[in-house]
Chains A and B, each alone.
Chain A
Amino acid sequence: MVKVVTSFGRSGVSDWLVQRVSAVILLAYFLFVAWVLLAGVSYTEWKGLFEATWMRVFSLMALLSLGAHAWIGMWSVLTDYLTERMLGSKGNVLRILAQLLTTLALFVYVVWGVQILWGY
């Protein structure tokens, strides 16, 4: 078995499942938001919608799904192209750097998103 420490769930099955489930949640969320927007929504209605707890929870779920989905997706792209095999030993350095940046960005987005959802 191939040893892996930087993937999201460290096992192929769990990464695969998380990737599928998060995709479904994201799809549902964006379809819902698109439907609300297309149906025509005023500022007060929009604000009211995001004051409802269920919408905040739904949004948070979508945000966390996005984080997990992007982590897994970026990880598999990075381990395809930024590798020792493709670029020599600097491949490892570049990949770890890119991974750190990805993780940092995702962390910032999630925290910021929580602040937006519960801050207003």
Chain B
Amino acid sequence: MLQVSIYRYNPETDAEPRMQDFQVDTGGKDVMVLDVLEQIKAQQDSTVTYRRSCREGVCGSDGLNINGKNGLGCITPLSETVRDNKLVIRPLPGLPVVRDLVVDMSLFYAQYEKVQPYLQNNTPAPAIERLQSPEDREKLDGLYECILCACCSSSCPSFWWNPDRFIGPAGLLQSYRFLADSRDTATEERLSRLDDPFSVFRCHGIQNCVNVCPKGLNPTRAIGHIRNMLLSRAA
């Protein structure tokens, strides 16, 4: 029997959060963490609350803190995380809890919105698509794949302390995705909005973000590119 401990909290009725223990029979199979949650919800306690949708690592809704490390429940197999037969599931750290494992992502989205995550081009639209060379297109690899699961930003100490002023790894990765796009013409405006001591420069290169990204992306490298763009613009 797998020993599962789940964070429970209803801010409307509970004075404080508590951990609730469950015993789960996985039938000896190496299932995903999300499967364990589903099994608990179906068979033991239907009030356990969490988000999930695609159950295949595409939608980004089940970012969880699993045995102390952020990740997606649906693509984290027990064999990868369970030690001593224990599974501890908490909500993503640093964000306000709405209920149990569901967090309020408003701050995270507000930072995403700040980087204006859409293509901006003020030249007249061509009759066909705006073309891009294969080399230029390649520059977007490792950037566009982000699914906004918030595993990275909610593992970043700088984001914990200043989630309203530091854009955080997810937002900055997307910021660079548009800074690096050959079709985007708003580079200068984008950079001038980042040139303060918080938005980019609160990153201290701890690389927690790289360590947890379930898509294998590297926000720290993207942040380094932004910093270099800001430096060469200032020089």
Contact = CB atoms under 8 A, between A and B. Distances in A.
Interface of A: 1-4, 7, 10-17, 75-76, 79-81, 83, 85-86
Interface residues of B, number: 20
Given A11-B197, A12-B198, A2 B165 contact: yes
B161 A81 contact: yes
Dominant SS among interface residues on chain B: loop
Given A15-B197, A76-B202, 10 more contacts: A2-B197, A4-B198, A11-B196, A12-B195, A13-B195, A13-B231, A15-B201, A80-B161, A85-B161, A85-B164
Nearest to A84: B164
Contacts of B200: 12
Interface of B: 158, 161-162, 164-165, 192-202, 227, 230-231, 234
B194 A12 contact: yes
Contacts of A75: 197
Given A12-B201, A16-B227, A17-B231, A4 B196 contact: yes
13 contacts: A1-B199, A2-B196, A10-B196, A11-B234, A12-B199, A12-B200, A13-B234, A14-B234, A17-B231, A75-B197, A80-B158, A80-B161, A86-B161
Dominant SS among interface residues on chain A: helix
Nearest to A75: B197
Contacts of A14: 234
Contacts of A86: 161
A7 B193 contact: no
Contacts of A11: 195-197, 234
Nearest to B233: A13
A79 B199 CA distance: 13
Contacts of A16: 201, 227, 231
B231 A7 contact: no
B173 to A, nearest CB: 18
Nearest to B204: A76
From A14, A80, A86, name the one whose CB has the most chain B CB atoms within 10 angstroms: A80
A53 to B, nearest CB: 31
A86 B202 CA distance: 17
A16 B8 CA distance: 42
B234 to A, nearest CB: 5
A12 B161 CA distance: 17
From A2, A16, A79, name the one whose CB has the most chain B CB atoms within 10 angstroms: A2
From A4, A7, A76, A81, name the one whose CB has the most chain B CB atoms within 10 angstroms: A76
